[in-house]
């Protein structure tokens, strides 16, 4: 039987809550002052405290602080007759599990009590883990124990012995830059790691960004500027989203890789390339070569060693390890004390398809940890994955804005699904589908390329 302590100077509220909660099967004690409440808390060690903010002898926030000093894991639901934002924020910031306004909605209070006791029960099941030091946490680790990740670890070990060019392929969010950094740190720790996102810089500036420029090379070039290849020295230059580089610049990069030297824009001096080149892409480069959108000679030059990172949906056995590692990282960064996720939530993680891969998992855990009221993350902390589909009356309808797990789709995901559905259901040619979608033929072609949709009908 769970023990609940009610601290409120309103005798009628104490009596009402005592009667109701005892009927619900709880062992209830009450106190009319903060001093009496603290004494009873020490005597009976309740599972939950319902605490009024305004007390006759001691401020409720001071009582909350004292309760937390006595037991940092105590669950406290604060109640108040004053509807002010500042008090709500302060209560949650100082460790209250929930905050309820008077007059008390008994259904709201009952839900809060059940959530608090459920969180407490989960924490007790893994007693001993709270406050565990981060001895197993190391920033920048690659997490994985399955056969695919083990092969990647072996490849990293081999390529770290030399300075061969490496191509990393994988979907967005799989950790391509992290693997590049691990290769770099295992090859040389004292030299720079320089990352360049080829899709984030317009073509006219990317050449200058990579190779630098001389003073007066173009309008705005008021001084000599070294490029990323030069700044990398004997370290590593990481070319992310290499597939987005224009064919013109691909030719210049190929020449640099072949000759191991380059000239700054507007310059004549030849500068040696000493850095290792690691390129990454979330697209199939060979497919782009066949489409004439990527140079085959550059592909072969980059493809000396290739690391293909599996998406998270293909290595779900690593999810518990990833969750454990990411929560330790979150605890370290945000000064939280989240121990883990519930078994029920872990089962949901296994069923989910993870279109955003490890990055999506980390983002969800960060959001849940920031807003969590307990040390264990449960279904209520992940509404994106656990919200039920929208229903109309008694008839359940498919919500086109959500996936099968209730997660809201991004705008691009909605667009891709719509295009695929039109293609599959209408069986029409490109011109007719363009009319249905209300877009031009070139726009349709770009959409097909963007989403990797194969369309055989003319």
Which two structure tokens, joined as six digits, stand for 117?
A: 């006791």
DSSP string, 101-112: ESSP-HHHHHHH
Q: Which of 422, 112, 166, 150 is nearest to 280 (CA)?
A: 166
**With contact defined as beta carbons under 8 Å apart, do 309 and 178 qualify?**
no
Q: What is the pTM of this model?
A: 0.67
CA dihedral of 309, 313, 315, 318, whole degrees rounded to 10? 110
What is the Cα–Cα distance from 112 to 133, expressed in whole angstroms? 31
Return the SS3 of 409: coil
Segment holding 44, helix H or strand E: helix 34-44
What is the Cα–Cα distance from 326 to 143, expressed in whole angstroms? 9
pLDDT beneath 70, residues of the chain: 84, 125-140, 387-408, 457-458
Largest CA distance in the chain: 89
Contacts of 196 (CB under 8 A, 6+ apart): 206, 209, 210, 228, 237, 238, 239, 240
The dihedrals phi and psi of 213, each to the nearest 5 degrees, come to -150, 160
Contacts of 47 (CB under 8 A, 6+ apart): 2, 3, 4, 75, 117, 120
Return the SS3 of 262: strand
Ranges of H-type helices in 201-278: 203-211, 228-232, 247-259
Return the residue matching tokens 């565990």. Answer: 132
Domain 147-308: give its CATH superfamily. Answer: P-loop containing nucleotide triphosphate hydrolases (3.40.50.300)
Which two structure tokens, joined as six digits, stand for 395?
A: 């008839």
Extended strands (E) in 61-122 = 75-80, 98-101
Q: Which of 392, 325, 324, 379 is nearest to 352 (CA)?
A: 379
Assess if CATH 3.30.70.270 describes domain 3-125.
no
Q: Which of 164, 177, 156, 161 is nearest to 303 (CA)?
A: 164
**With contact defined as beta carbons under 8 Å apart, do 66 and 40 qualify?**
no
Tally Cβ neighbours within 10 Å of residue 420.
12
**With contact defined as beta carbons under 8 Å apart, do 406 and 389 qualify?**
yes
**With contact defined as beta carbons under 8 Å apart, do 17 and 50 qualify?**
yes
> What does the pLDDT read at residue 139?
56
What is the Cα–Cα distance from 116 to 120, expressed in whole angstroms? 6
Segment holding 239, helix H or strand E: strand 236-240
Which two structure tokens, joined as six digits, stand for 282?
A: 């979330």
Architecture of the 316-386 domain? Orthogonal Bundle (1.10)
Domain ranges of the chain: 3-125, 147-308, 316-386, 410-451
Taking only the tens place, the pLDDT of each residue in 167-223 is 999 998 999 999 999 999 888 778 999 999 988 887 778 888 898 888 877 777 778
DSSP string, 52-102: ES--SSS-HHHHHHHHHHH-TT-EEEEEES---HHHHHHHHHTT-SEEEES
Q: For strand 391-392 and strand 395-396, is the pairing parallel, antiparallel, or unpaired?
A: antiparallel
Tally Cβ neighbours within 10 Å of residue 254.
17
What is the Cα–Cα distance from 188 to 216, expressed in whole angstroms? 35
End-to-end CA distance of the chain: 71
Fold matches, 147-308 and 316-386: no
> What does the pLDDT read at residue 396?
41
**With contact defined as beta carbons under 8 Å apart, do 256 and 273 qualify?**
yes
**With contact defined as beta carbons under 8 Å apart, do 287 and 293 qualify?**
no
Burial bucket for residue 430 (CB in 10 Å: 0-12, 13-18, 19+): middle
């Amino acid at each position: 039987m769970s023990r609940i302590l009610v601290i409120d100077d309103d005798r009628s509220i104490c009596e009402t809550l005592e009667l109701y909660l005892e009927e619900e099967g709880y062992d209830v004690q009450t106190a009319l002052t903060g001093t009496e409440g603290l004494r009873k808390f020490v005597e009976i060690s309740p599972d939950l405290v319902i605490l009024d903010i305004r007390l006759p002898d001691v401020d409720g926030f001071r009582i909350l602080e004292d309760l937390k000093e006595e037991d940092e894991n105590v669950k406290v639901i604060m109640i108040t007759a004053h509807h002010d934002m500042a008090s709500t924020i302060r209560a949650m910031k100082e460790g209250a599990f929930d905050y309820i306004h008077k007059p008390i909605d008994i259904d709201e209070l009952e839900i809060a009590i059940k959530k608090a006791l459920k969180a407490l029960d989960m924490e007790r099941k893994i007693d001993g883990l709270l406050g565990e030091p981060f001895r197993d946490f190391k920033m920048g680790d690659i997490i994985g124990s399955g056969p695919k990740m083990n092969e990647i670890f072996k490849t990293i070990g081999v390529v770290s012995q030399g300075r061969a060019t490496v191509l990393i392929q994988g979907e967005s969010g799989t950790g391509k830059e992290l693997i590049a950094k691990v290769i770099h740190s295992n090859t040389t720790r004292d030299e720079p790691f320089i990352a360049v996102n080829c899709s984030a810089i317009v073509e006219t500036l990317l050449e200058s960004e990579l190779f630098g420029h001389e003073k007066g090379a173009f309008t705005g070039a008021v001084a000599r500027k070294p490029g990323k290849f030069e700044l990398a020295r004997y370290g590593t230059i990481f070319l992310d989203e290499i597939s987005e580089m224009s064919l013109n610049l691909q030719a210049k990069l190929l020449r640099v890789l072949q000759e191991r030297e380059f000239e700054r824009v507007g310059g004549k001096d030849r500068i040696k390339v000493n850095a290792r080149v690691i390129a990454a892409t979330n697209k199939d480069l060979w497919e782009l070569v066949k489409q004439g959108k990527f140079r085959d000679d550059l592909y072969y030059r980059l493809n000396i060693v290739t690391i293909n990172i599996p998406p998270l949906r293909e290595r779900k056995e690593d999810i518990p390890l990833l969750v454990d590692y990411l929560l330790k990282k979150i605890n370290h960064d945000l000064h939280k004390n989240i121990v883990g996720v519930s078994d029920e939530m872990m089962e949901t993680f296994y069923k989910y398809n993870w279109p955003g891969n490890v990055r999506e998992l980390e983002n969800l855990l960060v959001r849940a940890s920031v807003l969590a009221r307990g040390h264990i993350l449960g279904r209520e902390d992940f509404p994106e994955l656990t919200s039920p589909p929208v229903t109309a009356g008694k008839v359940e309808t498919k919500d086109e804005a959500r996936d099968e797990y209730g997660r809201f789709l991004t705008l691009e995901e909605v667009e891709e699904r719509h295009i695929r559905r039109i293609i599959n259901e209408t069986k029409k040619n490109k011109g007719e589908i363009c009319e249905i979608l209300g877009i031009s033929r070139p726009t349709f072609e770009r959409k097909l390329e963007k989403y990797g949709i194969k369309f055989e009908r003319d």
